Amino acid sequence: MKNNILTIIILLLTMTMSAQTVEKPKGNPLVEAWNTPFETPPFEQIKEEHYLPAFNYAFSVAKNELYRIKAVKTLPTFENTIAALDRSGKLLNDISGIFFNLLEANTSEGMQKIAEEVSPALTAFYNDLYLDPALFNRVKAVYEKPGELTPEQTMLLENTYKAFVRQGANLDEAGKEKFREYSQRLSSLSLAFGKNVLAAVNAYSKVITDEKMLSGIPASALAVARAKAEAKGQQGWLFDLSMPSCLAILTYADNRDLRHEFYMHYNTRAYNDQFDNQQIVKEMVLLRDSLAKLLGYDNYAAYVLEERMAENADNVYKLEKKLLKHAYPVAKKEMADLQAFAESIGFQGQLQRWDFAYYSEKYKTSLFNVNDEMLKPYFQLEKVIDGVFGLAGDLFGLKFVPNDKIQVYHPDVKVYEVYRGGKFMAVLYLDFHPRDSKRGGAWMTTFREQSVDAKGKETRPLVSLVMNFTPSTADMPSLLTFNEVRTFMHEFGHSLHAILSQVTYQSLSCTSVVRDFVELPSQLLENWSTEREFLNTFAFHYQTGEVIPDSLMQKIKEFENFHSGYACCRQLTFGFLDMMWHTCDPHKVGDLLAAERKAIQKTELLPPVEGTCISTAFSHIFAGGYAAGYYGYKWAEVLDADAFSLFQEKGVYNQTIADSYVENILSKGGSEKAMTLFVRFRGRQPKIDALLKRSGLK
């Protein structure tokens, strides 16, 4: 009887609604069938003017799909409701995947203006979806009487039901309107935050014509700086705030005033300037807190962490404080040793933040007789790619085939077909070098994710890795620092999670896992970067062809934990700051900088610098998906160190362990609980011991 009443209610609700139709825009490549290799996006045909008409049409298509789900006259079932919801919105997902990825990797003023229209529209669309009582009643009916389901179907059902509840489906009408208001505004603010940070980065550059000012900076960095100046029709050397350029100054420039200047510009991005993000930060924190309280949570962290491995803020703080307890004494000694070293070579006074990278590099060279410039000749980008691909082949049976016929969004991008055992697995896009249209950092993303439709047809993913590595010049190939090699492996680890995905439902595939689990595959792969067997496959001197010698290999292992205490404290700085913003009472936040300083004072190792601020450029939490989740990097480090210890026990190329890793983690996406997958692979719950040992903190 209850189900019959529910059916009548649903039918009454759907009778008041009608399907919407928007005419399909003619000649628009975004909405036409992609007759391209592997149905890859036809980037060469896509113009900015295509996006808005395509989005408008895709919205109408998606709304009609939802209307048809609500209009089903039979009782709600997993297949006609939950699976149907997962498979709806494909065109909208495809267009969004292209637009928002290019907004980050190859943006323009026109793209940013389009985003200002599209982002609120997307938020409104998903609000309409999750706040629709007819849809929720169908989902709830299946949730209460699911019938026999597979573990993956059970996971999708639970995720779908919780998504509706967590997006306000149980609120009254007044509450729903508030939820719409908060989420719409947050969407716009997040977009504005990221736009301001990119603008602040691009607003500063410095052309240096006096070569004496550049003393200490390696020839490779100077060559890139000269090429940048020439590209802008200027004489001399151009340095900017892109990471390779700015880092070259901070790490190598003997001119302390120059280091100070670049440090200040980098660490005042979007703070007290024309791109100031202070009010955006405050408003976002207030709105997130208000949204969480509207849904019945104590704060935004409680809302976010309910669906993470950590579960609650207490567990996050417990991990962070435990790590700080081990790391801070080590870091204090590291700083004392660095101060003494700097003084021994003539430095006077107390080290400041713009001195750290410079003297740290010199100290590392002194201790281990090795530095990045000595290692870079062995890490030519093309050879590193070969090595990483080879590792994926040896461990996971993957084969990468270049394909220059697949269209790309920028000439820098290279494309590969990926196969495993003869089966097509994915298309992989690689985009390595900085440009004004690309935001800083490194990330993995997808233009399309893996799934299987109702008829059993499989869609394989389109995966993209985006980085900001030093480019080649006319006289020198792109040579990576060891840290850049690790960064590449980190992002490639994410790509493996997508490439090897083998689930049914798109919302559970690839990297669609809880945020504090998503970094496990990326950080795990970094561990091979110091393995001799791996380095022997690609680390050849770009001029002599000599494989990296044992002496340098040993040095890499020796300095792997150099300043590990400092590095841990630095990550904890961001973690504590993130948690402060999402557990505090936003009404009591007065001065933004004062709140920030109080949150991170327990991790501080150098004197604060007046006028600098982290929060206004903290894109991970204010323009990305890491709000109340930055701790996840350290959480995943516990997982990855523990997981790699199993490889170390059995052999880092052990095929049985590698196969188990694919079967139990990489192929599973979010089709089961993260802890269930980890325990199935490792044989037990994770322990922190391996991380402390690896980091030299125990």
Q: Point out the residues that are catalytic.
A: 491
Q: Tell me whether strands 237-240 and 205-208 are parallel, antiparallel or unpaired.
A: antiparallel
Q: Long-range contacts of range 56-59, CB-CB < 8 Å, 24 or more positions apart?
A: 56/22, 57/22, 57/23, 57/24, 57/25, 57/28, 57/31, 57/91, 58/31, 58/89, 58/91, 58/92, 58/95, 59/22, 59/92, 59/121, 59/125
How far apart, in Å, do the first and last CA atoms of the chain sit? 63
- Are 138 and 70 in contact by the 8 Å Cβ rule? The answer is yes
Nearest to 267 by CA among 627, 608, 633, 12: 608
Residue type, 684: R
> CB-hemisphere CA count at 13 Å for 556?
25
User: CA–CA separation, 677 vs 669, rounded Å?
Assistant: 10
Q: Find how far residue 496's CA is from the centre of its chain.
A: 14
User: CA–CA separation, 592 vs 381, rounded Å?
Assistant: 41
Coil, helix or strand at residue 211: helix
The H or E element that residue 452 is part of is strand 451-452
Q: Tell me the two tokens of residue 584.
A: 């505090």
CB atoms within 10 A of CB 432: 23
User: CA–CA separation, 115 vs 532, rounded Å?
Assistant: 46
Q: What is the DSSP letter of 380?
A: B
User: CA–CA separation, 460 vs 448, rounded Å?
Assistant: 8
Nearest to 30 by CA among 47, 17, 16: 47
- Are 428 and 418 in contact by the 8 Å Cβ rule? The answer is yes
| Strand ranges, E, within 621-688 | none
User: CA–CA separation, 429 vs 446, rounded Å?
Assistant: 9
User: CA–CA separation, 358 vs 247, rounded Å?
Assistant: 10
